[in-house]
Structure formats: structure tokens, C-alpha cells
Amino acid sequence: MSKVVDAVDLSASGPDGPAAPQRNRPGALRLLRSGQVRLGCALVLLTMAFALAGPLLAPHDPAKSIALPYATPGDGLPLGADQLGRDVLSRVLAGGFHLAWMAPVAAIAAVALGALVGIAAAFYGGITDTVLMRVMDVLLAFPALLFTLLFVSVIGPKPWLLVVLTAIGMTPGVARVIRGAARPLNDREYVMWSRTVGIPARTILARCFLPNVSSPLLVELGMRLMWSIGILAAISFLGYGIQPPAADWGLMISENRTGLQNMPWAVLAPVACIVLFTIGGNLIAEGSARVIARTEGRG
Amino acid sequence: MSAIEVRGLTIALRDGSPIVKDATFDLEPGQVLGVVGESGSGKSTMSLAMLGYARHGARITAGQVLIDGTDVLALGPRALRRHRGNVVAYVPQDPATALNPALRIGVQLAEVLEGDAKEVDARIREVLGAVGLPSDDAFLHRRPRELSGGQQQRVALAMAVAPRPRLTVLDEPTTGLDVTTQARVLALVARLCADNQMAAIYVSHDLAVIGEVADRVAVMYGGMIVEAGPTKQVVARPAHPYTRALLAAVPSARERMRLTSIPGRAPGVQDTHPGCVFAPRCAFATDECTTGAPSLIELVPGHSARCLRAEELPERPRQSATAPASAVQEAAPGDTPLLRVRDLAAGYRDRQVLFDVSFDVVEGECLAVVGESGSGKTTMSRSLIGLQERWGGTVELGGTPLAPAAARRDPDQRRSMQYIFQNPYGSLNPRATVGDCVAEPLRHFFALGAKAARARVAELLERVELPGHLASRYPAELSGGQRQRVAIARALGCAPTVLICDEVTSALDVSVQAAIVELLRGLLNDGLGMVFVTHNLAVVRSLADSVIVLSEGHVVEHGGTDTVLTEPRHAYTKALLADTLEVSAAG
């Protein structure tokens, strides 16, 4: 018998030829080859590094008045002073710390929870599917921001509470998307094969389902990061987040918006930080979706 | 001058590597040119160039496509738009995706026609009549999904011929159809061409189909036409070694052949070496073949081949298989068969699709289950494996009854019966390496450690004739045939006694099919029992010992393969055989 021969097997050497394999390799890392995703990651990481290290770098005590209200930039105050005469630069450096850890944690928690619910609903189907998805629908029916404000006003503005509420608010959306992506996998032959030989459900979920929805998961992660930044900044702007005199980007916009004409830097600097952070998340989501659309469907 | 002349057509990828090289042929009105080749040979790419079209990432870099003296490739965008459909029409492979599901048949057909409403309406009805479809208002108001696959393909054909084109390009239009439907569509194509003085290019990987429909044939390999000539002559006296090899891989429903696959791998776009493109795999290659690229040599007027040795090669008769097919094997009294099925019934919701199927499979026996789509054969195989609830009857594996659902069977039963799926592209988890895939049952059933599993995976890959280094590859890097081999290796890893193969070769090229059939034959010799579900009687003849013919869920014939296929008793079997195409030298 002839060995190691595959008779005229042309499909692999089709349009892209045998050199294509590397590009065809599945896995989330291929997303990093997209310039958009790379730029997005760079923006997110830079903003996070800036915000997390910021409190240590602040030249002045961000909570202390050291100049006249709305003092213009110059003279040791590169970005001027805010409405209470505090150093804007120090407040910008110190004011991103909470957002920088809360937004990613909330986004990751929402995506993890949503993926769990979505995959379970898709795999088990039937009554499990109905119950899980109806619960998600009920959650979705509450306006996430009002829901959050309600709990915060009762329990108090605790960072962990904000993270949990933001995550729960975003979970139903993730669950729906992931359920949609996971359902067709039930009809894939490798899942059917796994069922016929009796591979345990948790192994099928971990080996067949999770890796095959990793692409939509990454898109969701980028998008939910962007949203959670927006929600958390909004909560802070409304005064339900970090309490004064501590510095926070959302809070700074709220505090200094009356002096926008006199001293725009007190508003513009935190806005710029939030914008960069958000655009980073958006680029990750957008770029991933593009790479996936381009490469998916190649077997 | 011929009506259609193609001269030196060359199509290249954006990086300059050619995928179709120097294609040249002529075609007369009313003639059908069959373009045959395997996946990746460039046959579809070349045919689409007749419409002045190159798919994304490819460019027509040289050559002429002259239709009545007009060069299609020189037309501007506006002229090209008018040209497409009106002068050159196209019938795609999958009518289900080619027809707009939102449009009614009448509207769909009217889209390709110009002129006043009354004339258009009359032409639509005329064309529908010509393709053998009803032309009443009720039919015109149907939507594509309300039609069968064969009807959809007829609508696509009607759309193509309605504007009276000079040339129609048909890209594997019968690949997804049953033999019976296929036979009707082929006859229709031949008649439409003759009646309308329309030339056609019929693209297919199936030599039997080409032999049936085409007047002339062009064999493509590695982007080149390696042989061209009158169909009968090419089939009877193939001049190029590749054509011969391809013919040797085609199974026949009339007699049991040893199917010979072609050693080595087909060339990719990047594989450029001087000399004949087929030389690395050619049994007749000499030193001369690897240095100079042969040009098309005319053997007799109208029949040419791109082979230096075309004139001197001896004719090789096809070999028959060494072992003749045996009759139904009854289990010896007191002996239990591997698989015993009695009065199996199954269905979906309120519709029963399978009635009282009974059979035995003994060691080393291959039982073929034959039928057209809708005959219940897939329902049967899925209820055997437990993916489809059965309504009645019993299934015994090695003497012990099996529960209807796979989830309720014990691990040993689930291990002993294995299923190979039709679609090699869906059988493997795209996010797991080949090695992981094959190791999955080893971990699950035998709790092998990483090292032992690796060794066993290597053995299994060798058993299915795959190189061991593929273990670290992902399915996307493999061809269809290789994936099917991996699926077989994974099944063998369970150490099964019965293998259920559901149309395992229908998605593969003939020569790959030949290799898989030979592999399965080897497994039978090892004592495995096999249920082989297929619609292809020729594959049945080359592999199966006994056969069941299913029609509308009922077994209409059951017996030894040779008996059933040589002297069919039931009218349905006879019809099926009559519609099965043969590549015969007699033609």
C-alpha cells in the first residue's frame, strides 16, 4: 500500500495555494495583525497606564486649592486651575484611576457572564434556553443607567457596586450575540460526533463551543469596554460615582462645565482622556469585526 | 473562423502568479465543450473569463475571448454589462443561492429580458416550457424555496437561455442533484444547445457527466489545458497521462474496478518548476519532461495533448478489482452479526420517513444503502447512531440492543459504532489541531496520557495514510480529502466494530474519492463492519458486498451487490441504474 500519499488533493492548494495556511490559522491572535486592532489596543493600554500611574505622578495634591479659581495655564500650572483653584494637571493625572480599572473589569465580567449564559442557552436549548433568555430579556427591559442610579442611591457610591451593576446591565446584550453565534454549532458535525460518542457536556462547551465563538467574544469585549467607559463616566458626571473632593474625569467635566469659556482646559483635558480611551475600545471592536468578516468562512 | 475563439487566455493572481495559463480553444454554435479538472485546476476561473469576469484577487492578464469576432476582454464596463447575460450567460453551481429568494419566478425571469411586457411574458412562458417546467400563472408566482433542487436548476437554466445568448457557461450545475434529476438536466442542456444553436461550456469534475453532455472535452490540470479533443476519442484513447490517471479513478456501476488514485499532490500556485506541470506525479516522466514545458501536440486533427510522450505511450487497460464482490453474508447460525437491524422506523414530527428496514452486517462486510435525496437514507443512518429518534424496531450491536438516543447508550456501545459525516469541512473542530482531534476519543475512552495518545495518534494517521507532521496542523490547512481521512482516523481511534459512512465521498473529487474508497476497503479487510450510505451506484459497486435500495423510506431491493446491480428486479433500481452515467470507451 502506498504510504503518505494523498491523491490529487487540490483543495488545499486552491486559490491561495499552500502558502495560505499560516493566514488560515484560527485563533484570536490573528486579530493583532490588523492595524486598527493594534492602534486600539495601544490607545487603551496607554490610557490605562497613564491613569493607573497618574496618582503617583501628580505634582500637587489634586484635592487642594493652590491657585485662584480658573487660573489660566502657566506658572507651574501647565493646564491651569479649576473652579476651586485646584491644579487641573494633577486632577487629570489622578482622576482616571478608578475608571481605568472599573471599565475593563466591568467589560470583562459582562462578556464572561454573557458568554456563559449565551453558550449554555445555545447548547442545552429547550427549557434552559427559554428560562435564561427570558431572564436576560427582563434585565434588558430596565434602562441600565436608571437601574444603576437607583441601586447607587440606595446603597451608596461604592466602586465595586458600580462595576457589578454596569456588568449586569451589559450582560443580556452579550448573551444574545453569543447565543446567536453558538446555536449553529449544534449542527456542526464535530459537535454531533462529540454527542454520539458521549463526550461530557463541559468538555464539548470548553473545546467546541468557547473557541469557536472567540471571535464575536472579542468584538463584544471591545464594544463593552467602550460602553462601560461611557456609562461609568456618565455616572460620575451625574455625581453618583467618585465623590468630591477626590478627582475623577467624569466629575471634573461636571464641576468645570460652567467655566468652559474662561478655562476650557479643565473640561477638555478629562474629555480628551475619556475620548481616547473610548476610541481605543471602539477600534478594537471595529478592527476585530473586520478581520473576522474577512477571514471567516474559510473552513 | 469559429463562432467562439479563445486565444492564449491567461489569468493571474494579484502577485502575478498565474492560475490559468495560455488557454486556447474554439467552439462552434450548438457545441458543448466539457471542461474537466479537479478542485483548484482553474476550470471555473477560466470559464468565468468568458464573461469577462475574474474573481476577487485575480486578473485576466493576457489573451482574447472572441465571440463572433468581438473581443469580450476589450469591452468597456457598459458594453460588458450588456454583453453578460445577453451574449454569454452563466448558470452557477448552486441554484439555491443563485436565485433571489425574495423574488417570484416570473419576476426573476423578467429581470433578464428587455422589451415590452407582453413579449417578455410570452418569452418567459416559452422558455419555461423549453426547460420542462409548467408555465402557468401559479408557477410564475412561486418563490425559489417552493421548488425542488432540480426545478431551481431548471429555472436558472431558463434564466440563462431566455435572452438567447450565443454561449452559456455552466459551472457544475448538476453536482448537488440526484442521478435521476442530473440525467434530465443533462439531456435538457444538450437539447437547448442543439435547438438554439447555442454553444456551451460545461464545467465539471465528473468525467461521466462530461462524457454524457459534451461534444468536445478540455482536461485541465494546474491551470493548463493538458488535453483537448472530441469527447469520445479522449475517453477511449486518452493521450495525456493525467487524463489516464483520472479515468482510472472513476468507479463504474457496471463492473467492479480497482480504483487507482494519483500519487503525490496537485500543484499549488506557488509551485513553479520548469518542465511539464504533471511531471512530478507522472509514471511515465523522463528527464526530458522536467526540463522543457511541452506545448500542445496535435495527435490527430482536433485531438491534442500537452505531453512530450503522448504518441509513444502504450495503452493501458483498466484493472478490475482483485476481489469480486461477495453476496449477502448471513451470520452463521448461533453467531451474532455485528449489527442487526429489525423493522426500523423513523420520522420527523408527524411525518414518517422510514418504514420497516431490516438488515444484518457481519464482520468485514460493507452494506451499501442507496437512494435519492428524500429516500430516508440519512434518517436511517442517523437513527442508527442515535442522533435521530426512532419510532419503532430494534437495533442490536453485537447482540445487545441499543437505546434509541445516543445519550442513553453505554460508553462501550457509543465507542463501538462510529459515524463519518458527509461534509469533511464540518467534521473537524476548526479550533483544534488534527492531533487534538484524533486524540479526543483516546482521552475519552481509553484515558491515555499525553505521550501515549501522541504515539497512538501517529499510528492512526499512518493507518489513514496521512503524514505524521499533519498532527500539528489545523483543519483549515487541510484539503477535503485529508480532512475526511482525519475524520476516519478519529473514528478508528475509538476501536469501533461498525463504521457508518454517510455519503463520505460525495464532496470529494473523483481521484480523492478513489483513494478514500481504497482506504475503506482496507478497513473492511481488517474485519470492520460498514454501513455505507450513498447515492452513487458506481461507488457501491466498487466497495460494497451487499446493497439495500431505499425508495421513499421503504426497502425496495436487498441483495448482493453484483446481483442487485447486474440484474435489478425492482423498477426503481432499474431506473436508478439507467440514470447512472458511465465513462465508457464505447461511448
* Nearest chain A Cα distance for residue B432, angstroms: 8
User: A121-125, A205-209, B59-63, B280-284: lowest mean pLDDT where?
Assistant: B280-284
Residue A201 to residues A120, A121, A179, B403, B560, Cα–Cα distance (Å): 10, 13, 16, 19, 42
Q: Are B481 and A7 in contact (CB under 8 A)?
A: yes
Tens-place pLDDT, residues B12-21: 888 888 889 8
What are the extents of the domains in chain A? 33-95+248-299, 99-241
Pick from A227, A249, A229, A246: which is nearest to A237 by CA? Answer: A249
Tens-place pLDDT, residues A163-211: 999 999 999 999 999 999 999 999 899 999 998 888 899 999 988 899 8
* pLDDT for residue A297: 46
**B479/A6 touch (CB, cutoff 8 Å), yes or no:** yes
Q: Which of the listed ranges A281-295, B320-334, B426-440 does the model predict with the highest average pLDDT?
A: B426-440
Give the dihedral of Cα atoms A213, A183, B103, B372; nearest 10 deg. Answer: 110
Q: Residue B586's pLDDT band (boundaries 50, 70, 90)? A: very low
Report the SS3 class of residue B392: strand
Is B259 a residue whose pLDDT tops 50?
yes
Cβ neighbors of A286 (< 8 A, separation 6 or more) are: A36, A40, A222
Report the SS3 class of residue A81: strand
Tens-place pLDDT, residues A209-220: 998 888 888 889
**A2/B263 touch (CB, cutoff 8 Å), yes or no:** yes
Is B499 a residue whose pLDDT tops 80?
yes
Q: In angstroms, rounded to a whole number, what is the distance separating the alpha carbons of residues B200 and B317? A: 32
Is A229 a residue whose pLDDT tops 80?
yes
Tell me the chain B residues in contact with residue A24 when contact means C-beta distances shorter than 8 Å: 474, 476-477
Pick from B360, B361, B380, B362: which is nearest to B370 by CA? Answer: B380
* Nearest chain A Cα distance for residue B71, angstroms: 26
Q: Between residues A12 and B562, which one has the greater pLDDT?
A: B562
Tell me the chain B residues in contact with residue A17 when contact means C-beta distances shorter than 8 Å: 17, 268-271
Is B323 a residue whose pLDDT tops 60?
no
* pLDDT for residue A183: 93
Mutate to test the interface with B, among A10, A13, A119, A203 (most CBs of B within 10 A): A10
Q: Which fold has domain A99-241?
A: MetI-like fold (1.10.3720)
Is A6 a residue whose pLDDT tops 60?
no
Model's pTM, two decimal places? 0.80
* pLDDT for residue A168: 92
* pLDDT for residue A296: 59
Is A106 a residue whose pLDDT tops 90?
yes
**B263/A7 touch (CB, cutoff 8 Å), yes or no:** yes
Out of A26, A193, A195, name the one closest to residue B427 (CB). A193
Burial of A235 (0-12, 13-18, 19+ CB in 10 A): buried
Is A73 a residue whose pLDDT tops 50?
yes
Is B66 a residue whose pLDDT tops 70?
yes
* pLDDT for residue B263: 75
Q: Are B325 and B560 in contact (CB under 8 A)?
A: yes
The mean pLDDT of chain B is 85
Domain B339-428+495-579 in CATH 3.40.80.10:
no
Cell 462595576 belongs to which residue?
Answer: A163
Find the mean pLDDT for residues B515-533. 90
Out of B427, B480, B512, name the one closest to residue A190 (CB). B427
Nearest CA in chain A to B472: A25
**B515/A24 touch (CB, cutoff 8 Å), yes or no:** no
Tell me the chain B residues in contact with residue A8 when contact means C-beta distances shorter than 8 Å: 38, 261-262, 265-266, 509, 511-512
Tell me the chain B residues in contact with residue A186 when contact means C-beta distances shorter than 8 Å: none
Q: Between residues B509 and B110, which one has the greater pLDDT?
A: B110
Q: Are B131 and B105 in contact (CB under 8 A)?
A: no
Out of A26, A193, A203, name the one closest to residue B419 (CB). A193
Residue B359 to residues A139, B39, B355, B541, B548, Cα–Cα distance (Å): 55, 37, 13, 19, 9
Residues A101-139: b if buried by 16+ CB within 10 A, e if exposed? ebbbbbbebbbebbbbbbbbbbbeeeeebeebbeebeeb
Q: In angstroms, rounded to a whole number, what is the distance separating the alpha carbons of residues B138 and B483? A: 45
**A17/B265 touch (CB, cutoff 8 Å), yes or no:** no
Cβ neighbors of B119 (< 8 A, separation 6 or more) are: none
Tens-place pLDDT, residues B197-230: 899 999 988 888 888 889 999 999 988 899 999 9
The mean pLDDT of chain A is 83
Out of A7, A13, A212, name the one closest to residue B267 (CB). A13
What are the extents of the domains in chain B? 98-164, 339-428+495-579
**B465/A2 touch (CB, cutoff 8 Å), yes or no:** yes
Give B37-70 as a 3 state SS string: CCCCCCHHHHHHHHHCCCCCCEEEEEEEEEECCE
- Cβ-Cβ pairs closer than 8 A, A with B, add up to 169
Q: Which of the listed ranges A193-197, B172-176, B254-258 does the model predict with the highest average pLDDT?
A: A193-197
Is A294 a residue whose pLDDT tops 80?
no
**A3/B419 touch (CB, cutoff 8 Å), yes or no:** no
Find the mean pLDDT for residues A153-169. 90
**B477/A24 touch (CB, cutoff 8 Å), yes or no:** yes
Take residue B35 and report the three cell numbers written for it.
471542461
**A3/B465 touch (CB, cutoff 8 Å), yes or no:** yes
**A192/B421 touch (CB, cutoff 8 Å), yes or no:** yes
**A8/B38 touch (CB, cutoff 8 Å), yes or no:** yes
User: A21-30, B56-65, B172-181, B239-248: lowest mean pLDDT where?
Assistant: A21-30
Is B80 a residue whose pLDDT tops 60?
yes
Tell me the chain B residues in contact with residue A203 when contact means C-beta distances shorter than 8 Å: 444
Q: Are B510 and B249 in contact (CB under 8 A)?
A: yes
Is A14 a residue whose pLDDT tops 50?
no
Is B530 a residue whose pLDDT tops 90?
yes
